[in-house]
Amino acid sequence: MKKFSILAATAAALLMTGSGPALAQAGAQQPATIEGKPNLNGIWQAMNTANWNLEPHAAGPNPVADRQVGATGAIPAGLGVVEGGTIPYKPEALERLSQHRQHLINYDPEAACYLPGIPRATYLPYPFQILQGTNKIVLAYEYAGASRTIHMEPVGDSPAPTWMGWSRGRWDGDTLVVEVTDFNEETWFDRAGNFHSDALKVTERYTPASPHHLIYQATIEDPKVFTRPWTLRMPLYRRFEREKQLLEYKCVEFVEQLMYGHLGVIDPATGLRNK
């Protein structure tokens, strides 16, 4: 397997700030703090079923119409990560949610290998790495080579709405607080079709619970879609296997048939599309 090439770029970005610590192997001893703040450097991963559905849900069959794959791709049951259990949709937004749930594979941005957005990038079933500097904190995600920069110093507005939003961070005691705005409306929260609009604001909180655990909390505000703000909460676990690293998961090549199959089949011998 290839190493995740974005790590070199993100590490360089931190070093350019003059405040990025040297990257350590996941299992290596690291200082407990960086300039008096918790050291969040490392590879982390959520261990839950939030990416299938943020709300409590039973196990279910593969949502793809072709049942010949049996239990492969089936939906695992989950207790949910939403405080209160239910996402507070406006009545008019429930119609769009129903449409999503009738076309999960066709509509889900993850199925098309689009960038996952926030907070979904955190609880996809892939690890991500935190690269912590003083003025910048970079998060590198294994899924699709996604990344984002958390600006810890004053910055201007985002030049345009994006899939991953615009992240501004600050410390509240030992908790890293990140306000993320300027999203487009193309991402989903999970595979169950839960969605937002371009008015989305996400306030994240990363709180150390032990040297190997973070408590992740994200408060969702979107007055176009929800009746009130709501919060999801989950632990994140440090991956500390020997020489643990992010690997490539470039999924664009996996979606050829889904995205362009209606145009014909590519002949592997010639590289031409048969119609």
Q: Is residue 252 part of a domain?
A: yes
Is there a domain that residue 68 lies in?
no
Instruction: Please give the pLDDT value at position 1.
Output: 46
- 73 vs 182: which has the higher pLDDT: 182
Q: Confirm whether 25 is domain-assigned.
A: no
pTM for this predicted structure: 0.86
The average pLDDT across 175-193 equals 98
Residue 156 lies in a domain: yes
Is position 87 within any domain?
A: yes
Residues with Cβ within 8 Å of 20's Cβ and at least 6 positions away in sequence, in order, are: 11, 13, 14, 131, 132, 133, 136
Q: 194-203, 235-244, 253-262: which has the minimum mean pLDDT?
A: 253-262
pLDDT at 12: 44
**pLDDT above 70 covers what percent of the chain?**
83
pLDDT band at residue 263 using 50, 70 and 90 as cut-offs: low
CATH number of the domain where residue 164 is located: 2.40.128.20
Mean pLDDT of 45-67: 91
Residue 3: pLDDT band with limits 50, 70, 90: very low
In tens, the pLDDT along 74-112 reads 999 999 999 999 999 999 999 999 999 999 888 899 999
* Domain contains 165: yes
Q: Contact 32/172 with Cβ under 8 angstroms?
A: no
What pLDDT score does 20 carry?
41
Closest CA to 182 of 160, 155, 152: 160
Tell me the backbone φ, ψ of residue 218, rounded to 5 degrees: -135, 120
Compute the average pLDDT of residues 120-138.
97
The Cα–Cα gap between 242 and 23 comes to 14
Counted domains in the chain = 1
pLDDT at 29: 64
The pLDDT of 226-234, averaged and rounded, is: 98
Domain of 219 in residue numbering reads as 6-19+36-52+78-274
